[in-house]
Amino acid sequence: MIILYKDKYTSFELAILIFILLNSTFSTVIINVIKNHSISEIIVSILISFILGLIYLLIIFKNYNEDLIESLKRKRITSIILITCAFIMELFFLVNSSLIFKDILLPSIDNKIIILVFLLAAFFLASKGLKSLVISSNLLFIIYLLIILISFSFNILNVDPINLLPIEFKINKLPFMSIFLSTISPLLFLLIIPKNKILNFNDYKNKVKKTYVIFYIYLFTKILFIISILGIKYLSIIKYPEITILKSINIFNFFERLEELLIINIFIENFILVSLALLYIITLTKNIINFKFTNYLVLLLIFILSISFNNISLTLFYISNIIFIIVNLFNYKRKYRS
């Protein structure tokens, strides 16, 4: 029994990590996408992105690479492309999440210091390896689940189903691409796990599909919940809708101001995402440049870049996402052919 758990990953651990990763882009990307669309557009785009994501996952699992890092040792160009895409994505998440924390928790401290502290903590976790990242995500999931339950159950009385009407079918723009991209690309960071280190790969495949379905149900209910409490017009004015919902929680007329503590969910999601991206970049750069201080070089580079850009445009983020997804797909197909 000891041999089994030493270096390997059980599918349950990875499934929990995947659930957190799928949720991690909600506060930075998805909520901004929802703001200016009507309910029918949102529902249809969620369905389309669900189907697209399932197809993509099925293709990837069919040709799951035995060991991605080994196969990339000879292909320098693809690894450089993957590294730059991961860099841009990580900078995006780092900068945007630090803006949320600055606005709500620490308004008087400069953005750059929050980025530095967050990045140092993420680097601390990334330097301990993937196994400890998986274990810590599992431990943090207990708190995560508890807070989801609190924020849903104490807010149910504020739900007003009239806000969800009318159900029209006027569809102008469908933002399915952004939902699809922002949910799938964090999962691709997990492709660095070689196949032989996962106990029972078939079980893992099933569990990934199950968590994907559960996540989309959860996303659907969460979006409907937010819209039914706030209403679409109010939603488009506020800066952080999901935090505004937490402001109206009132337990026993005494625990009123809980939104600062309930933000830990957003913190956990972004933290795990940033540290996993950092780990991904570090393992891929070790293929190219390998000396004693590669870790610290990457850390320094990310820190300098995140300070110098105040804002990373959404289009750049989407472009890098698309390239990331296509290159990963392309990478596998090549292996399959040869």
Partner 1 sequence: MKEEIINYCGNSEDIVTRTISKKDYVLDIIFCETLSDSSFINELILTPLNINDNKNISEVITSGVLKEIDDSLTAADELFLGYTIIILDNNKIYGIETKKDLDRSVSESEVEGSISGPKDAFLENFNTNVGLIRKRIRNKNLRLRTVNLGSESNTKIGICYMNDIVDNELLNKVLEKITSIKNDIIIDGAYLKEQLSLKHLFPDVNQTERPDLASYALLEGKICIIIDNSPTVLIIPTFFIDFFHTADDYYQKSINTTFIRILRVIAFMIAIFLPGYYISITTHNPTSIPTTLLLSLINQHIAVPFPAFFEILLMTIAFEILRESDVRIPNKVGSSASILGGLILGDAAVAAGIISPIMIIVVAISAISAFVFPYNSIVNLIRYYRFFILLLGALFGIFGLFIGLVILISNISSITSFGYPYTYPFVPLIKEDLKDSIIKTESQSKRNPLLTKKRER
Partner 2 sequence: MKKIIIFIAVFFLLGCSNYYTDINNLAIINEIAIDYDLEYKVYVKVLKNDKESDIFIENGKTLDDCFSSLNNKLTKKLYLAHLDLLVLSDNLDKENYKDIIEFFLSLESSRNTFDTIITNKITEDFLKIDSKEIQNLLDLSINSNGLAKNKSFDSIIKDILNYRLSYIPYIDSENKEVLGLKSIFEENKLLDKDSSITVNFSYNLIDNITLLIDDKSYKLESCSSTNLIDENKITLKVSCNYKGSSKDKEIIKTYLSDAFYKHIKENSNNYFFYLQDKYGKKGHLELLYDLDISLMKESSGDYFI
Chain residues in the site for partner 2 (CB under 8 A): 103-104, 106-109, 113, 116-117, 120, 127, 162, 165-168, 230-231, 233-234, 237-239, 247-248, 257, 259, 292-293, 296
**Paired tokens of 227:** 């819209």
Query: DSSP assignment of 13-25, as one string?
Result: HHHHHHHHHHHTT
132 binds, among partner 1, partner 2, none (CB under 5 to 8 A by kind): partner 1
**Residue 5 touching partner 1 (CB under 8 A):** yes
Phi (first) and psi of residue 251, to 5 degrees: -110, 125
Among 55, 76, 110, 124, binds partner 1 (CB under 8 A): 124
CB nearer to partner 1: pick between 134 and 181? 134
**Greatest CA separation for the chain:** 66
Residue 293 interacts with, from partner 1, partner 2, none (CB under 5-8 Å by kind): partner 2
247 binds, among partner 2, partner 1, none (CB under 5 to 8 A by kind): partner 2
Give the residue, chosen from 190, 258, 319, 329, that forms a contact with partner 1 under the rule CB under 8 A.
Answer: 258
| Cβ atoms < 10 Å from Cβ of 310 | 10
Does residue 90 contact residue 315 with C-beta atoms inside 8 Å?
A: no
Q: Which residue has the tokens 């990331």?
A: 324
Please tell me the number of Cα atoms within 13 Å of 175 on its side-chain side. Answer: 20
Three-class DSSP category at 177: helix
Residue 172 Cβ vs partner 1, minimum distance, rounded to whole Å:
39
| CB contact at 8 A, 164 and 227 | yes
Binding mask 76-115 for partner 1 (x = CB under 8 A): -------------------------x---xx--x----x-
Q: Is residue 336 within the footprint of partner 1 (CB under 8 A)?
A: no
